[in-house]
């Protein structure tokens, strides 16, 4: 081939002529041009080309140089390849013209040729270019010059295919050559060769890059393993196994020793009984507390008794006669007694004062605001990611707003599933067809013409990289078809789509950036190793909209987005029957709107849950003590039904059979029990619930006044929380008042029930517990029986007030410590929770006590509950009748008769300790598998259109989110600063920012970086290369003036044409200081075109932030992309990896580098949530320890309570991974709640245990039996109230909540709250009693005077039969 034979068309490219002649010597001008274009290999000898052909080569090379010039090996191989093809004197040995064609000027011109290339040369040529990057597109040169070829044959085929922007004739590359042909077999240059004409930098040549060592993922968990178990799990299991074996062995030994000691004790007891005239059988519980040992003799006696077995010290209980008291306890009781007397004596004044204070605090509602912005909700103001986002927005502009649509076929059954993507690639038929393409073309035309209410269109708000006059960035398959289908038909559309997908550079969209198939197609099947793009399952359409810090500009975009959302919602409904398409989409305003909408998703379920708890509380409170000798509701209805037929039997027949008992008298209407109307406490329970609502309202008003915004978590959780931790206080007060009424109410003077202190049961045996009493030494006349209602209420508050104070202080402190968390959602919740709990407790010990007094007065004058104006007449009561029963409800009787005695058996204690220790070990093992994150689909309504969008996003989008590495504190105008950033020049630092990112890209599995880095500094300095003659140009006569793209080349020259030293890859002579800034400013405004792809306006126009003076670079960013992120773990790991990389770059280069991606601000919490969880729970437990130890007067008991609370939280955390509950802000809030609820379970039981004490030391021989008695008393005293007030109340609420359709409520409220309620109840009412009975601290008596002490003794015998006594000695239930 030689010369030009014209073109096929007037505007076509010249075609070579077939020529079999010998090569010719070129003239000097041609020779010089040939050397300049093709190098020294053509400095002498004949050639087979003309000057015109060389000029054409030069023009084509200039177009390619902007893409591959950064790698000398690729550039020179490319030039050598086509120079040999065009000008080699040996052309005939490897080139064969196979077909000719007629042109406008010549009858014969080349139409196709066979170009024979050896595999060695072809592979070397391909290898030298395959890794060359194009920073501006975050892609590779092979995607532009080779159609994304994966091997050398595909690369050569792309180069040889006839196309408008490529070769004007077909060049075929046969793999086998006939014998007469010698394939081209030049030695290709390697990018790793040391010579300057070959050596490429690390960015373009992986062979010269240092290999970075592998880095484990942040979520890989423990690195130490023993088999499949982590070392911690293995150690725990081993320790637990040894502990069980040790316990069993110790139990056998202890039982053997005990039997021997009991035999010795029996001998000593018999001798002591015969020798001592003072033998007391009085028990310790109810007898006051022990004084300190009186003298050395008693110490000796006790020391000796330690060798005699359990209970030996009880032989002479003189030591127990003198009680001791805890001063703080006495002070609190007196204070609460005075408070109770005042509030009970002046109830209406109390109401007025509290109402005034509450009303003043509720004024803050006028400042009420709900925070819905996800950033301000979940990201702390001091968050590093938030500050970095603000820095990025201010210096480079906010990240774009995206409107994204997934279009799939309607065939198939796809259901929303929030746990994982419900869309499985391969289950849907292809989405593309000729009718559907035409339909979607019309849809996109509609979207372009959409007009918002104020007249804004897409063109007004879209992102235009080329400037205001440029085209919008719309990533759609329609961009390959020039946004309309007029040029294609039913037969050609698929072929064109395949061509564009394989070579995006040949189908540039209107915004002139190559659009790869991964951006616009999803679910592409592979057929015989080749991707079949026209059979893709999904179309991905993305509209990029500009965002702004200017609220007016932002409002324009949001207004158009709302219009788009409305259009797409309508399209979603009709597209299925119009074209068989399914639409899933998201707009810039969708997420926040749908999340806010989710709060109304299950309002009915939440309200029903509250109502269920309300009615349970109101009705349960009425099941208190009933001393009236009357039947219940059920039995009265049964009697009425039995006796009703007797109304129709003649009186003469029934008169003889009539009973004196009026209950058997037949009536037309049933005789309902008076307790149903009078003893009911529905109004009181409802009042207690109103106080809960009022405390929440007041807390909201107070903190709103302080400027603390309400969050959705507060609205949903706080009422549940206050009900949980506050209602049992109501139960405690009501049940204690019932007991006071039994002892000191109007019925107390009528007599005591059988088995009371005044009528002690006669046990036929002597096996009664030594804790029981015959009360022979008590003067019954000194015990007051009837007390006024006000005093009974005051005594109730004096008894339960300190316990309420203990739980309130502990919970308030624990919740308030949550305010240390910088996350606004958690901090605001903690403040509102602490305030609500504190206010609720305050209202309970003031106005509720007043209400309790009024209700007591109403009941004693027989007025009907809820209708106090109606008075029920008193029935005749015989004075010789006595109250029946013990005054305990069914639950309390169960605890007293069965549960407490069973739990305190030694074998049961051992079993409890073993089981709970095993539960702890299992929980710690399970905790290691807790996942971080919160799938945003959980926060959406179940029917939200965003659910299907996120499902499609996970399945079909094969590109990860962009990530920017922002460099600050580096002087880019100086050579060292440039070298710390660049990557394409020989003097760039090996650990420069760009080189490090390239190294990280090569270990994508740990860095999550998948794309080449867009380096502005490399592109800018490459733009200065005079070889890029159409890039940086200045006027020939005035070098200070730049030439625009339309200025004639005749009056311009390359910027560095006459530069000394000349432009070179060593960076020697590159601009610095003011010169650097002058060229940089011009580069940033130079349009990116086909003639100069290195210009910076389109790709880097916002990548550099220049100071106001224009003399330095304040900050700049380097763009790359994450690998596709599908799960929460992927996002969290990508966030952690990017920050690790940025920190290491900063450390190595001495500059400040930080990463930024749009999702980072939401995942910043997971970088700190584990430490935050440890901090909050640790401080909460520390506060529990301090408060309980001080309030209970025992560090030992306080430590036990704190340990049980900690075990409760650990067990909740152990269940989390089993039930699919991740650790995030919501679950962290629930863990704080579980700490508070665990305190509520434990505090009342612990205080009752301490106040039932006799003060025996832990190592006293009778200490174990005394602690068992104290714990039995405590369980019977407060156990039923705790069970009724918190366990059953919340279980009822949780059971209703199980009906919810919201996954967020189901997982993070129903599952987690059910776990913590059950765990709290088990730990507080099973484990805590066992541990306290074994190792609890010495207690203090509740009473302060002998008269009180005797009264308590009577009450204990009257109400709580000793659990170790025989059945005959216990008052009948």
Give the tens place of pLDDT for each residue, 184-239. 989 999 998 888 888 888 888 888 887 777 787 766 655 676 767 778 877 888 88
pLDDT of residue 419: 40
Instruction: Choose the most confident range, by mean pLDDT, from 334-348, 1226-1240, 1347-1361.
Output: 334-348
pLDDT at 766 over 50: no
**Is the pLDDT confidence value at 714 over 80?**
no
Q: Which range is most confident: 376-390, 716-730, 1114-1128?
A: 1114-1128
Q: How confident is the model at residue 121 (pLDDT cuts 50, 70, 90)?
A: very high
Of residues 938 and 1261, more confidence is placed in 938
> Is residue 349 scored above 60 in pLDDT?
yes
Least confident of 650-664, 921-935, 1138-1152: 650-664
Average predicted confidence (pLDDT) for the chain: 79
Percent residues over pLDDT 90 in the chain: 22
Q: Is the peptide bond before 1061 cis (omega within 30 degrees of 0)?
A: yes
The H-or-E segment that residue 405 falls in is strand 401-409
Give the span between the Cα atoms of 1198 and 718, in whole angstroms.
27
Most confident of 190-194, 373-377, 665-669, 886-890: 190-194
Query: What is the model's pLDDT at position 1191?
Result: 85
**CA 353 vs CA 343, 357, 461, 685: distances in Å:** 11, 6, 59, 22
| Residue 293: band (very low, low, confident or very high) from pLDDT cuts 50, 70, 90 | very low
pLDDT of 637 strictly over 50: yes
* Per-residue pLDDT, 778: 35
What's the mean pLDDT in 1173-1187?
A: 88
Is the pLDDT at 1206 greater than 90? The verdict is yes
SS3 content of the chain, % helix, strand, coil (to 5): 55, 10, 35
* pTM value > 0.85: no
pLDDT of 985 > 50? The answer is yes
| Contact yes or no for 16/56 (Cβ under 8 A) | no
Contact 790, 853 (CB under 8 A): yes
What is the structure's pLDDT at 724?
64
Give the confidence band of 116 by pLDDT, cuts at 50, 70, 90.
very high
Going from the C-alpha of 294 to that of each of 301, 420, 600, 771, the distances in angstroms are 11, 72, 69, 22
Residue 1372 near residue 883 (C-beta atoms within 8 A): no
Of 141-145, 181-185, 634-638, 1082-1086, least confident by mean pLDDT is 634-638
* pLDDT of 1203 higher than 90: yes
Q: Please, what is the Cα angle at 844 between 840 and 849, to 5 degrees?
A: 165
Give the helix/strand (H/E) hosting 161: none
Residues 386-405 have a mean pLDDT of: 90
The C-alpha atoms of residue 215 and residue 1003 are separated, in whole angstroms, by 9
Tell me: pLDDT of 159 over 80. yes
127/1269: higher pLDDT: 127
Per the document, the length of the chain is 1373
For residues 700 and 678, what is the distance between their CA atoms, to the nearest angstrom?
36
pLDDT bracket for residue 977 (50, 70, 90): very high
Does 74 have pLDDT greater than 80? yes
Give the residue with greater pLDDT, 76 vs 271: 76
Q: Answer yes or no: is pLDDT of 839 > 60.
A: yes
The reported pLDDT for the residue numbered 1138 is: 94
Radius of gyration of the chain (CA): 44
Q: What is the pLDDT of residue 648?
A: 65
pLDDT-based confidence at 40, cuts 50/70/90?
confident
How large a percentage of the chain has pLDDT more than 70? 80
**For 988-1040, what is each residue's pLDDT tens digit?**
988 899 999 988 988 888 899 998 899 999 989 989 988 888 889 999 988 88
Angle (CA) 1165-1166-1170 rounded to 5° is 105
Cβ neighbour number for residue 1257 with a 10 Å cutoff: 12
List Cβ neighbours of 411 (8 Å cut-off, separation of 6 or more).
Answer: 428, 429, 580
Residue bearing the bigger pLDDT, 1077 or 251: 1077
User: Which one of 275-279, 599-603, 951-955, 1270-1274 scores highest in mean pLDDT?
Assistant: 951-955
**Per-residue pLDDT at 421:** 47
pLDDT confidence band for 806 (50 / 70 / 90): confident
Residue with tokens 């006590």: 849
More confident residue, 1155 or 1049: 1155
The pLDDT assigned to 1244 comes to: 83
Question: Taking residues 954-964, what's their average pLDDT?
Answer: 90
Report, as an integer, the average pLDDT of 646-673. 57
pLDDT of 1306 over the 90 cut: no
What digits encode the pLDDT tens for the residues 517-552?
989 999 899 887 788 898 999 999 999 998 888 888
Q: What is the DSSP string of 959-1019?
A: SPPEEEEEEES--TTSHHHHHHH--SSTTS-TT-HHHHHHHHHTTHHHH-B-S--B-HHHH
In this model, does residue 767 exceed pLDDT 70?
Answer: no
Closest CA to 286 of 1134, 1270, 1119: 1270
Q: Which of 911, 1016, 795 is nearest to 1327 (CA)?
A: 911
What angle do helix axes 1328-1335 and 1263-1282 make, rounded to 10 degrees?
160
Per residue in 892-921, is it b (16+ CB within 10 Å) or e — as a string? bbbbbbebbbebbeeeebeebbeebbebbb
pLDDT at position 124: 93
Q: Which pLDDT score, from 0 to 100, does residue 123 have?
A: 93
Lowest-confidence pick of 258-267, 481-490, 1067-1076, 1323-1332:
258-267
Least confident of 93-97, 184-188, 971-975, 1057-1061: 1057-1061
Q: pLDDT of 768-788, one tens digit each?
A: 333 333 333 333 344 457 788
Are the beta carbons of 916 and 1327 closer than 8 angstroms? yes
């Amino acid at each position: 081939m030689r010369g030009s034979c014209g073109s096929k068309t007037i505007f076509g490219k010249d075609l070579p002529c077939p020529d079999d002649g010998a090569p010719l010597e070129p003239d000097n001008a041609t020779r010089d041009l040939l050397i300049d274009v093709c190098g020294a290999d053509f400095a002498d000898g004949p050639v087979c080309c003309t000057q015109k052909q060389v000029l054409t080569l030069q023009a084509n090379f200039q177009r390619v140089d902007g893409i591959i010039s950064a790698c000398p090996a690729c550039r020179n191989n490319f030039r050598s390849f086509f120079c040999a093809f065009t000008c080699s004197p040996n052309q005939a040995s490897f080139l064969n013209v196979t077909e000719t064609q007629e042109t406008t000027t010549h009858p014969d011109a080349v139409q196709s040729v066979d170009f024979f290339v050896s595999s060695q040369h072809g592979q070397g040529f391909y290898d030298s270019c395959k890794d060359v990057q194009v920073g501006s597109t975050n892609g590779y040169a092979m995607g532009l010059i080779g159609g994304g070829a994966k091997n050398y044959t595909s690369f050569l085929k792309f180069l040889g295919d006839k196309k408008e922007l490529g070769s004007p004739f077909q060049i075929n590359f046969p793999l086998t050559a006939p014998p007469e042909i010698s394939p081209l077999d030049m030695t290709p240059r390697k990018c790793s060769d040391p010579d300057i004409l070959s050596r490429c930098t690390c960015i373009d040549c992986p062979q010269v890059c240092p290999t970075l060592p592998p880095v484990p993922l942040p979520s890989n968990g423990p690195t130490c393993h023993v088999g499949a178990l982590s070392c911690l799990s293995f150690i725990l299991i081993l320790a637990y196994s040894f502990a069980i074996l040790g316990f069993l062995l110790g139990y056998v030994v202890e039982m053997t020793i005990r039997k021997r000691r009991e035999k010795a004790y029996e001998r000593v007891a018999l001798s002591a009984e015969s020798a001592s005239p003072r033998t007391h059988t009085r028990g310790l519980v109810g007898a006051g507390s022990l004084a300190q040992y009186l003298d050395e003799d008693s110490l000796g006696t006790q020391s000796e008794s330690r060798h005699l077995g359990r209970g030996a010290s009880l032989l002479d209980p003189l030591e127990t006669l003198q009680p001791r008291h805890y001063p703080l306890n006495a002070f609190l009781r007196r204070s609460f007694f005075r408070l109770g007397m005042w509030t009970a004596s002046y109830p209406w004044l109390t109401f007025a004062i509290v109402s005034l204070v509450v009303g003043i605090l509720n004024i803050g509602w006028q400042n009420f605001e709900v925070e819905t912005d996800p950033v301000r909700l979940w990201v702390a103001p001091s968050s590093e990611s938030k500050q970095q986002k603000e820095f990025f927005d201010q210096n480079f502009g906010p990240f774009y707003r995206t409107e994204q649509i997934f279009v799939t076929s309607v065939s198939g059954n796809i259901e929303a599933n929030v746990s994982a993507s419900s869309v499985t690639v391969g289950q849907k038929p292809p989405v593309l067809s000729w009718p559907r393409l035409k339909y979607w073309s019309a849809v996109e035309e509609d979207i372009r013409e959409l007009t918002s209410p104020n007249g804004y269109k897409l063109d007004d708000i879209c992102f235009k990289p080329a400037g205001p006059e440029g085209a919008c960035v719309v990533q759609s398959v329609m961009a390959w078809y020039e946004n309309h289908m007029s040029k294609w038909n039913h037969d050609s559309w698929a072929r064109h789509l395949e061509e564009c997908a394989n070579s995006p550079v040949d189908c540039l969209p209107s915004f002139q950036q190559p659009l790869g198939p991964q951006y616009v197609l999803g679910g592409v099947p592979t057929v015989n190793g080749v991707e079949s793009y026209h059979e893709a399952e999904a179309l991905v359409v993305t509209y990029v909209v500009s965002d702004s810090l200017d609220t007016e500009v932002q409002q324009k975009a949001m207004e158009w987005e709302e219009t788009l959302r409305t259009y797409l919602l309508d399209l979603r409904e009709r597209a299925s029957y119009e074209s068989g398409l399914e639409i899933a989409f998201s707009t810039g305003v969708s997420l926040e709107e749908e999340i806010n909408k989710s709060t109304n998703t299950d309002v009915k379920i939440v309200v029903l849950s509250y109502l269920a708890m309300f009615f349970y509380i109101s009705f349960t409170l009425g099941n208190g003590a009933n001393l009236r000798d009357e039947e219940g509701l059920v039995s009265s209805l049964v009697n009425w039904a039995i006796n009703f037929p007797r109304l129709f039997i003649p009186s003469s027949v029934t008169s003889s059979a009539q009973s004196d008992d009026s209950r058997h008298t037949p009536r037309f209407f049933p005789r309902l029990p008076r307790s149903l109307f009078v003893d009911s406490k529905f109004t009181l329970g409802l009042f207690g619930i109103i106080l809960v609502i009022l405390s929440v309202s007041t807390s909201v008003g107070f903190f709103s006044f302080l400027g603390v915004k309400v969050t959705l978590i507060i609205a949903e959780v706080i009422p549940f929380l206050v009900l949980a931790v506050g209602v049992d206080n109501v139960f405690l007060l009501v049940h204690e008042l019932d007991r006071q009424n039994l002892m000191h109410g109007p019925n107390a003077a009528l007599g005591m029930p059988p088995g009371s202190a005044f009528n002690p049961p006669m046990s036929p045996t002597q096996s009664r517990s030594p804790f029981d009493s015959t009360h022979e030494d008590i003067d019954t006349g000194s015990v007051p029986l009837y007390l006024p209602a006000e005093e009974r209420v005051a005594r109730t508050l004096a008894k339960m007030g300190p316990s309420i104070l203990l739980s309130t202080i502990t919970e308030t402190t624990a919740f308030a410590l949550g305010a240390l968390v910088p996350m606004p959602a958690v901090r605001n919740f903690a403040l509102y929770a602490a305030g609500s709990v504190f206010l609720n407790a305050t209202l309970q010990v003031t106005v509720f006590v007043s209400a309790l007094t009024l209700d007591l007065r109403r009941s004693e004058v027989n007025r009907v509950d809820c209708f106090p104006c109606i008075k029920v007449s008193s029935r005749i009561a015989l004075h010789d009748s006595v109250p029946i029963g013990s005054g305990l409800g069914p639950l309390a009787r169960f605890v007293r008769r069965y549960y407490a005695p069973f739990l305190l058996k030694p074998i049961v204690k051992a079993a409890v300790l073993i089981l709970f220790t095993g539960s702890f070990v299992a929980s710690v093992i399970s905790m290691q598998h807790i996942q971080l994150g919160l799938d945003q689909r959980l926060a959406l309504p179940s029917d939200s259109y965003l659910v299907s969008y996120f499902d499609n996003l996970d399945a079909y989008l094969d590109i990860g989110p962009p990530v920017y590495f922002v460099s600050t504190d580096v002087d880019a105008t100086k050579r060292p600063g440039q070298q710390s950033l660049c990557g394409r020049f020989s003097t760039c630092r090996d650990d420069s920012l760009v080189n490090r990112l390239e190294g990280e890209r090569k270990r994508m599995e740990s860095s999550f970086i998948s794309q080449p880095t867009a380096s502005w500094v490399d592109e800018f300095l490459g733009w200065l290369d005079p070889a890029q003659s159409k890039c940086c140009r200045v006027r020939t006569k005035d070098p200070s003036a730049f030439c625009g793209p339309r200025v004639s080349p005749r009056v311009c020259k390359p910027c560095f044409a006459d530069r000394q030293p000349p432009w070179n890859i060593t960076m020697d002579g590159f601009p610095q200081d003011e010169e650097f800034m002058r060229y940089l400013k011009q580069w940033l405004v130079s349009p990116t075109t086909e003639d100069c792809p290195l210009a910076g306006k389109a790709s880097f126009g916002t990548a550099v932030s220049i100071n106001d003076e224009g003399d330095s670079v304040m900050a700049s960013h380097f763009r790359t992309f994450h690998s596709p992120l599908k799960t929460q773990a992927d996002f969290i790991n990508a966030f952690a990896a990017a920050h690790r990389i940025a920190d290491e770059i900063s450390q190595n280069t001495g500059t400040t580098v930080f990463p930024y991606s749009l999702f980072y601000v939401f995942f910043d919490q997971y970088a700190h949530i584990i430490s935050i969880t440890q901090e909050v729970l640790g401080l909460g437990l520390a506060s529990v320890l301090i408060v309980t130890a001080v309030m209970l007067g025992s560090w030992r008991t306080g430590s036990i309570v704190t340990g049980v609370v900690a075990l409760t939280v650990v067990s909740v955390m152990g269940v989390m991974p089993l039930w699919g509950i991740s650790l995030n802000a919501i679950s962290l809030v629930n863990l704080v709640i579980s700490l508070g609820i665990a305190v509520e379970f434990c505090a009342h039981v612990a205080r009752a245990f301490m106040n039932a004490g006799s003060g025996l030391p832990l190592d006293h021989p009778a200490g174990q039996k005394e602690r068992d008695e104290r714990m039995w008393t405590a369980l019977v005293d407060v156990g039923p109230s705790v069970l009724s007030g918190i366990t059953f109340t919340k279980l009822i609420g949780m059971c209703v909540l199980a009906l919810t359709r919201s996954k967020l409520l189901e997982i993070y409220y129903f599952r987690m709250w059910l776990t913590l309620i059950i765990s709290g109840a088990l730990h507080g009412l099973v484990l805590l009693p066992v541990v306290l009975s074994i190792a609890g601290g010495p207690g203090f008596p509740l009473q302060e005077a002998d008269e009180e002490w005797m009264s308590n003794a009577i009450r204990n015998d009257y109400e709580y039969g000793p659990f170790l006594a025989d059945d005959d000695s216990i008052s009948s239930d």
